[in-house]
Structure 1
Amino acid sequence: MEIKITSNLKSYESKWSEFNIKHPQGNVFQSPEFFKVYQGTINYEPTVWFALDDKDDLCGLLVANKIKQFNKPMEGLSSRSIITGGPLVLDYLHLSKLLNCYSEENGNKVIFTQVRNLFDKSGEHDIFINGGYEYEPHLNYLIGLDEIESAWTNLNKKRRTSIRSAQKKGVTVHELKDGSEIGTFYDLIKATYKRVKVPLADVSLFKSAYKHLDQEKMVKYFFAMHEEKYIGALALLNYKDRAYMWYLGSLGEYLKYN
């Protein structure tokens, strides 16, 4: 079967959403909705590749996001590309073709590409290694939320004690009211990233997520408050049957309430 690779966004956007939803590993980061989030973020440059069979049906998908630190002429020497939750394919053959096309297009545009797996990709390791990638083990926590009591019981004793203590001290949790609170949310996240010395995306990422995902109930922003003061923030991404803890932050002086 002949496989064609294209980045023609307009021709396949409707098929893209259906493919991602039906794929067993389909996720929010490979969705057309999140692609728009990337497009609305300063210093982000997303691209998408589709693998098509001889009937012009999708059999593979790869969404990558180039993150730029500087503009030209230093752009290529300071940019990295992140592929989160992808590629998504129906057959290993499609994966090889997608990766080859991606590498040919981006080889000299970024200093490295990082693939952030959300599922077990052990069956694809050889293909990635042959494509020049290196594998590093990582840990994802998957927590079942079907039964609230079970989720609570599965927390370690120290964590349950911390939650009860925060409740007794008057800490409450509220959902973001509207887009005007994005700045407050960002300040709390920024405080944490500054404390641990990790770079943070521009505030436009969170504004874009609210713009493109809120009405679809694909994003939720939450605040922790104490005596009418914002002390913590959490962003969740919702897609299919999963909620992804996206960003989390708090003021340093309130870490004792965590």
Structure 2
Amino acid sequence: MYEYTLLQQVTPDDERTINSFIDANPGFHFFQSPVFYKLSLTSKKLRPFFIIAKQEGSIVGVLLVCQQVQINLPFMRFLTSRNLIIGGPLVRNQDEPILNGLLATYRIKSPQSLYTQMRNIRDTTASRAVFLANGFGYEDHLNILVDLTQTEEELWKDMHSKRRNEIRRAEKEGCRVEMVATLETLTHCYDILTEVYHRAKLPLPDFGHFKVMLQHSTEKIGLRIFTAVWENRIIGCMLCIAWGDTLYDYYAGAYSRYYNKYPNDLLPWAVFNWAKMNGFSHFDFGGAGKPNVPYGVRDYKKKFGGTLVSFGRYECVHFPILFRLMTQLFKWWQCAKR
């Protein structure tokens, strides 16, 4: 018999038991952890909550959800809301009855939003029927994984020749990569990301999100800050998350006026080598768009090698008419900003 509970406030005891359960399950679970819950609490746009499954008092399943709101005004709050789940749920032995109970409880008890998006970072094919039965539709979505157990020579050879040439050019221009975990460095990186995401017309978490992530980082887990430096100026950055044997690409970008120094080419290569030397087995390059749909980010990432996988996404639209309306308004807004 399983018991399911919605936790909007997590006590120290809750945190310890959730961490113990997560530690007993190998894999990259940062986005389902109490650490990410705490980070989300600091954001004005996020409202995190857990759904916990227990059997005889012991945790057997965890689902961390973040309700995300883009415009925090009375009526617009709901219209610009979604529930975001990354890398979850996490279930003991992939037990389908537990997974079914977590999803069913989520559908009943979760705070309302326009839709729910679940971003997978592992293969869920074996349990896909359970998601579908609970009202979640599936669509393919690509990701790129880099095997860091290869030798440096193999990693270099796996890259596209043009990418190798641009790395050489970056080095010839005097561009170098540094790793400095300070608040000042993070501030410079956030300025870069603000320009990049404004240019792309995409939302970016507020600075406090990254600041708290840095504050909660340890030698084993958390934020790793890599910067591309040219003539003592930070011109590009790559913010990664360390967890277990995986280094995860979180946010990255460079000032457009310094593209001719090739910071976006040098950074991943330097990060691969750092991760390899520091005991990581995998580099998760993050999202690569939908199959058969042109996507410049995928083209850029794929030239660094790695394996293209499709872990996909699940989505459940709770208010279809409003969802279609807001989707169309967002497209119009993006066009108007160009």
**TM-score scaled by structure 2?**
0.72
Residue 70 of structure 1 aligns with an amino acid whose one-letter code is I
Please give the residue correspondences for 1:1-258 in structure 2 after superposition, counting only pairs within 5 Å: 2-8=1-7, 9-10=10-11, 11-53=13-55, 55-71=56-72, 73-74=74-75, 75-90=77-92, 91-106=95-110, 109-146=112-149, 147-214=151-218, 216-256=220-260, 257=262, 258=265
Q: Counterpart of 2:145 in 1: which secondary structure?
A: coil
> Per-residue CA shift, 1:113-151, capped at 9, x if unaligned?
100000000112111112111111011111111233322
Q: Is 1:222–1:235's contact at 8 Å kept on the other side of the alignment?
A: yes
- d(CA) in 1 for partners of 2:32 and 2:204? 21
Of structures 1 and 2, the one with the larger relative CO (CA 8 A, separation 6+) is: 2
Residue 27 of structure 1 aligns with an amino acid whose one-letter code is H
- d(CA) in 2 for partners of 1:72 and 1:254? 38
Taking only aligned residues, the RMSD between alpha carbons, in angstroms, comes to: 1.7
CA 1:6–1:26 in structure 2 vs 1: closer, same or farther (change >3 Å)? farther
Q: Is 1:82–1:114's contact at 8 Å kept on the other side of the alignment?
A: yes
Q: Is 2:236–2:254's contact at 8 Å kept on the other side of the alignment?
A: yes
- Between the two proteins, the alignment pairs up a number of residues equal to 255
Q: Is 2:220–2:242's contact at 8 Å kept on the other side of the alignment?
A: no
**TM-score scaled by structure 1?**
0.93
- d(CA) in 2 for partners of 1:177 and 1:79? 32
- d(CA) in 2 for partners of 1:176 and 1:212? 16
- d(CA) in 2 for partners of 1:222 and 1:26? 20
Residue 191 of structure 1 aligns with an amino acid whose one-letter code is E
CA 1:177–1:125 in structure 2 vs 1: closer, same or farther (change >3 Å)? closer
- d(CA) in 2 for partners of 1:128 and 1:93? 12
CA 1:217–1:128 in structure 2 vs 1: closer, same or farther (change >3 Å)? closer
Residue 87 of structure 1 aligns with an amino acid whose one-letter code is P
| Deviation, structure 1 residue 42 | 2.3
Instruction: Give percent identity, aligned residues only.
Output: 31
Q: Which runs of 5+ in 1 are unaligned?
A: none
| Deviation, structure 1 residue 72 | 5.2
Q: Counterpart of 2:142 in 1: which secondary structure?
A: coil
Residue 132 of structure 1 aligns with an amino acid whose one-letter code is G
Residue 144 of structure 1 aligns with an amino acid whose one-letter code is D
Q: Is 2:196–2:254's contact at 8 Å kept on the other side of the alignment?
A: yes
> Per-residue CA shift, 1:188-241, capped at 9, x if unaligned?
111111222212111111111111125654211111011122210110100011
- d(CA) in 2 for partners of 1:226 and 1:58? 50
Q: Counterpart of 2:43 in 1: which secondary structure?
A: coil
Q: Which runs of 5+ in 2 are unaligned?
A: 266-338
Residue 154 of structure 1 aligns with an amino acid whose one-letter code is D
> Per-residue CA shift, 1:3-24, capped at 9, x if unaligned?
1012343243212112112213
